[in-house]
Amino acid sequence: MVNKAFEGFLSDIVGEIALKSFMNDKTEDWLYMSQQFEAKKRAIEIKSPRYITLRLPVALIELCEKYNGMQFQDAVAASKYAEIVEMDREKLKLSKVVFFFMFEQTLQKTVDHVKFLFKDTSIRDIDIILMVGGFSESPLLQQALKEAFPNKELVVPSNSSSCVLRGALMYGHSPLTISERILKYTYGVACLAEFREGYHPERKKIRTDDRIYCEDVFGIYVTKNTRVKPGKTQVTRRGRSISRYQCETRFRCFISESTHPQYVDEVGCFHIGQLSIQFDQPDSNVGREVASSMSFGGTVITIEAEDQKTGDKTRAVLDFLG
């Protein structure tokens, strides 16, 4: 968001058309300017010098003149930043107030998000905030978090900008490095429940060969905030066929932002994949049992189904990187 605010600042001075032309047609110059801004963004703090200097690419100056019919310094003078931005040859001197303004919304949203996370009872007692990634090097962000969470210890490791990359490499070579996860969602499948008049909605009532059911019920496997170990089966559930000569059973997998969702079509529920198991030699009996299980491992979730009559198994892997 800080980078977007910087783009908005430039657009206010040179105009949207000139800036887009600069970004699209003068890519090398735009990357150079972006790198300058990135370095300044990570270093600026309350006690920084009054003005922050950026070297302007000649191409941006020329495009400003081409599309606005005025020189760059005149465009600055005509903008709302006239009192806090100066032009010195090919250098743009910005009052650090401009930078603080660019940070304001991002800092507030970051603090608000961390406050929201700490409302979760499962992490409320955590005393340390670990900051990683390039933006974590920003003294302004660090100061905002210190002020918002005075009772928490703030840890910013050296080379924090490369921590995420190094962590990904470590995990790629040794997935068991992460021994436990806390689930962000509730996981389950769409299933049927015996219909209860006055409790289940009429629109979900269906009749099968043996009884009346309510469809699209969220059959919970694991609720959100549960701690799971990679590769370990979390739960096993038993289902049954509902029709004579039924040829297969399907498991439609869903996640929900709610802890205890009731139906798979509620707000906050999302379909993530499905698994089908074929019945060898379908028969006239209703109630053929199928056992299903779900396990979590790294970036994938594995769901497995077993026909209790024949022992046939099938498995589906839901890859969240794909």
pLDDT tens for 218-275 read 999 989 888 888 767 677 888 888 888 888 888 899 999 999 999 999 999 999 888 8
* pLDDT-based confidence at residue 99 (cuts at 50, 70, 90): confident
DSSP H helices, the chain, are: 2-14, 16-25, 27-43, 58-68, 72-78, 96-118, 139-148, 163-173
User: 181-319: which CATH number, 3.40.50.300, 3.10.129.10, 1.20.120.450, 2.60.34.10?
Assistant: 2.60.34.10
* pLDDT-based confidence at residue 322 (cuts at 50, 70, 90): very low
DSSP string, 197-256: TTTS-GGGEEE-SS-EEEEEEEEEEE-TT-EE-TTEEEEEEEEE--STT--EEEEEEEEE
Q: Where in the chain is the domain with CATH 2.60.34.10?
A: 181-319
Q: CA 28 from chain center: how many Å?
A: 30
Q: Give the pLDDT confidence score for residue 112 in this predicted structure.
A: 93
Average pLDDT value over all residues in the chain: 85
Give the residue with greater pLDDT, 30 vs 46. 30
Give residue-wise pLDDT tens across range 137-178.
888 889 999 999 999 999 988 887 788 888 888 877 777 677
Q: Please say whether the dihedral angle defined by the alpha carbons of residues 132, 133, 137 and 138, taken in this order, is positive or negative.
A: negative
Residue 211 in 3-state DSSP? Answer: coil
The H or E element spanning position 94 is: strand 91-95
